[in-house]
A and B are shown apart, each in its own frame.
Chain A
Amino acid sequence: MTPKRILKYSYYPGCSLHASASEYDQSTRELFKVLNIGLTEVPDWICCGATPAHNVDELLSLSLCAKNLELAEKVDGDLAVACAACFSRLKFTQHTLEENDVKRKQVEKAINAPVKLDNRVKHLLEILARDLGLERLAAAVKKPLKGLKVACYYGCLLTRPPDVPNLDCVEAPTIMEDVLHAVGAETVAWSHRMECCGANFTLSRPGVVIQLSNAILESAKAAGADCFMVACPLCHGNLDIRQKEIEGVYNTSYGMPVFYITQLVGMACGLSSEKLGLGAMIVNPMPLLKEKHLI
């Protein structure tokens, strides 16, 4: 085993984790506490621009993220990000500013500060699987998630575009599965791990989202999964909040709880359902967890 070193990070929760995905935020903080990983919220962070900004104005979208990166430099350690969309934008900005000097100068002018890119942007998955390491993660498990069959859903943003996030293989990643295997869960092999759920069309074109998310639910169910694991508040919203509606439209029944990574890993590390915010889930996970003797 590698020698223990103290891990600490600055933390960018992003807007969703302070609102609709507060249970993701809560479970992240609790899990990191249990794993003895330092987490300091970036002071005075602002919106990353998420999906709309880069469609409207490139400089604006880069500047919003660059401002957050600048703020994060004030805290020791790499920048931990939970939301897949925030992760994508911050990582993309870091990549662009490293590669393109002209844009870097424009952005520095816009935020009126020099851009330092010393600290890396890291997704929670990377921190768990690589920085902490699967061995140390497995050692922290108190209650292995035995018998739970999970469909790992990556969505669009975690690994794409090629050469930017460098989280894992772009089209056939295994990092979520690796983390879950370390905490004793089973994962299913299924077809729609990387497909789009419809994302923020959930408000403007719900019909599209219902169709796309149904395909995801259907294929995971067919592959024998009990539940989902996700890393993105938008994916979570579409699969969890809309699940009932989708079942109605397609006249079927899925009943598949949608967990965040930190909720499942936290559960294995012995955290209570209150601390993990399981009560905030729309599809009630309790019957499944009881059936598997996990609570």
Chain B
Amino acid sequence: MSRIGVFVCHCGENISRTVDVERVAAEVGKLPGVAFSTDYKYMCSDPGQGLIKKAIREQRISHVVVAACSPRMHEKTFRKAVEAAGLNPFLCEMANIREHCSWVHEDREEATVKAIEIVGMMVERVKKNRVLPTITVPVTKRSLVIGGGIAGIQAALDIADAGHEVVLVEREPSIGGHMAQLSETFPTLDCSQCIMTPKMVDVANHPRIKLYTYSEVEHVEGFIGNFQVTVRKKARSVNEDKCTGCGVCMEKCPIRKIPNKFDCNLGTRPAIYVPFPQAVPNTPVIDRENCTKFKTGKCGLCQKVCGPGAIDYEQEDRLIVEPVGAIVVATGFDLYSITEKPKGSAIKGYGEFGHGKIPDVIDGLTFERLASASGPTGGKILRPSDGREPKQIVFIQCVGSRAREKGISYCSKICCMYTAKHTMLYHHKVHDGQAYVFFMDARTPGKNYDEFWRRSIEEEEAVYIRGMVSRLYQKGNKIVVMGSDIAVGVQVEIEADMVVLATAVQPRIGADSLAQKLGISYDKYNFYSEAHAKLRPVECATAGIYLAGVCQGPKDIPDAVSQASAAAAKVMTLFAKDQLEREPIVARVREASCVGCFACKKVCAYGAVEEKEIRDRQGNLIKVVAYVNPGVCAGCGTCQATCPSKSVELDGYTDEQMVAMIEAL
């Protein structure tokens, strides 16, 4: 006979405002099997939990029902309390009388009656709860980091410095990401390369970091502590072990006019190339689409001039399987392309700004390359069209961002600050030039950020115009900027030499397909979703996967670095234990009745169902049945719903429990 304890929470006034909690406790107390019932203002608080523990000890309570908020909120809290008092935590259930009752009803009488019924159902359910033993799984203490920008680099270095091996996978031929492309960084104006490249070298030299550049994650299997990751290492056509990075191949390559993506297509590069001189690793890649050898079979000059004989035209993609226990995703961002409207996208494009048609309308990243000492102009601000120095320059903020009608409603967070920085860089380099900025609001929260923005106006003479631009068009040698100044209430027209658009930050193209490989969730813009917006901002809902940098939401460098270190700390916490405890809410197969149809295997999204042979003592095969790997099972219950012979049961959510709940109504 069970001795059930029922604990009804007021949730301050959240529940007691509409539900008569004392009456609920009294009524439920009369149910068969209930030995004790009471109410309290904050059941989740220390005295509230104390109440439960005391009752378990003094009233010899065998099962617990807490009538309070959603189990998503506090099931863990109360199960921990029950465990501390010596009961199996899975003998505790929550009846949700807040989200499912008090918050959605107004009539006190009706809400109270409903609350009594909800609690009554859970009382019947908990009677059928079984003691579930905790499942433990071993932890592979190696971590995968996807993305070699500043966030990925920081996470990799932190984890490796803590003594764990790291596999760092980068899609491009070099690590460095967007930060390597920047000229100077706000709010201190220190050179991006000077603070970035030493970290890149640290990665390359770290004994515990295994670096795969020009590589992509192909496939992910497994679960927290035990992932198997397949990495596709694309054919570089250069043997990394032999190459000394002397660069003769790049000097001799006869194909020289390929637009350099790293320089936002302002400069050119040969067909065998490193993206930039400070690349890590300093090993070139042959761009097979543009290489004469690959296109026609002739040339082969790079192979002839290569002293160490590192050029290998026969090289093929390699698939490498890496076992890891945790994954940090740091895939970064792309800028909103306003040149054309992407097909099938909700993004509407900016035809009215003529980007892609007017050569001197550029985006912020292109301006960074112009301003960078290692850029295609050697740091001189020059127009892409004719190489003249622009004397009137207009910066337009919020292009794509905060524009619901264009398909993106969020703020990209970094543009106010980098535009202020751009006006400064421009003023430092073009002393007789004038910078104008069209802005909606200046959003500068951050240490020393507002001071920096003020400086661009007060000391660097940038003219800020509050208002948006409706249209840009070419008129002779000039670009006419038509906008409004809402502070004065007039239309403004500026004839500019160059226009820089602060285009919105978006997740990397293809972020959604990576998310599907990893089994993590993402929002409608393809930003990866954290488990809790406030309290678990670096973890995915999928256990063992963590987020760092802009792939989770727009961020500047300090924020991306902070999140990366936080993700690394989470990985270290996971690796602090040798065995991992998992919730035992997993499916079990009743082998006696299983007919081996494997309908469950087809529907399992986690690949948890395996085939198991049943043999007699002589070793003769009797039948093949389904087996659910408890380490992989996520407890979703799809197999239970699918099984035609009712041979799968999800612990904690058995048919018996569900029927008991329904019968209680």
Contacts and interface: CB of A to CB of B under 8 A. Distances in A.
Nearest to A169: B351
A180 interface: no
A170 interface: yes
A127 to B, nearest CB: 24
A194 B353 CA distance: 12
A162 B348 contact: yes
B522 interface: no
Contacts of A194: 352, 471
B639 to A, nearest CB: 42
Interface string B461-496: 000000000010111000010000000000000000
B635 interface: no
Nearest to A192: B473
A171 B480 contact: no
Q: Which of A169, A171, A194 has the most CB of B within 10 A?
A: A171
Nearest to B352: A171
Interface in A153-175: 161-163, 169-172
Given A162-B405, A163-B405, A169-B341, A191 B471 contact: yes
Given A163-B405, A191-B480, A172 B471 contact: no
B349 interface: yes
B350 A171 contact: yes
B80 to A, nearest CB: 48
A294 B350 CA distance: 37
Interface in B330-353: 341, 348-352
B16 to A, nearest CB: 35
B341 A195 contact: no
Contacts of B352: 171-172, 194
Contacts of A169: 341, 348-349, 351
Contacts of B473: 191-192, 219
B265 to A, nearest CB: 22
A205 to B, nearest CB: 15
Q: Which of A161, A191, A192 has the most CB of B within 10 A?
A: A191
B351 A172 contact: yes
A169 B349 CA distance: 9
Nearest to B353: A171
Contacts of A162: 348, 405-406
Contacts of B341: 169
Q: Which of B473, B475, B480 has the most CB of A within 10 A?
A: B473
Interface in B517-531: none
Contacts of A171: 350-352, 471
A270 B406 CA distance: 42
Nearest to A163: B405
Nearest to A190: B473
Contacts of B349: 169, 172
Contacts of A170: 348, 405
A194 B472 CA distance: 12
Contact of A191 (B351, B405, B475): B475
Interface string A134-164: 0000000000000000000000000001110
A191 B474 contact: yes
B405 A195 contact: no
B350 to A, nearest CB: 7
A195 B473 CA distance: 12
Given A162-B405, A169-B341, A195 B348 contact: no
A189 to B, nearest CB: 9
Contacts of B471: 171, 191, 194-195
11 contacts: A161-B405, A162-B348, A162-B405, A162-B406, A169-B341, A171-B350, A171-B352, A172-B349, A191-B471, A191-B480, A195-B471
Given A163-B405, A169-B348, A170-B348, 18 more contacts: A161-B405, A162-B405, A162-B406, A169-B341, A169-B349, A169-B351, A171-B351, A172-B349, A172-B351, A191-B471, A191-B473, A191-B474, A191-B475, A191-B480, A194-B352, A194-B471, A195-B471, A219-B473
**CB-CB nearest 7 A-B residue pairs:** A172-B351, A191-B473, A171-B352, A162-B405, A171-B351, A169-B351, A172-B352
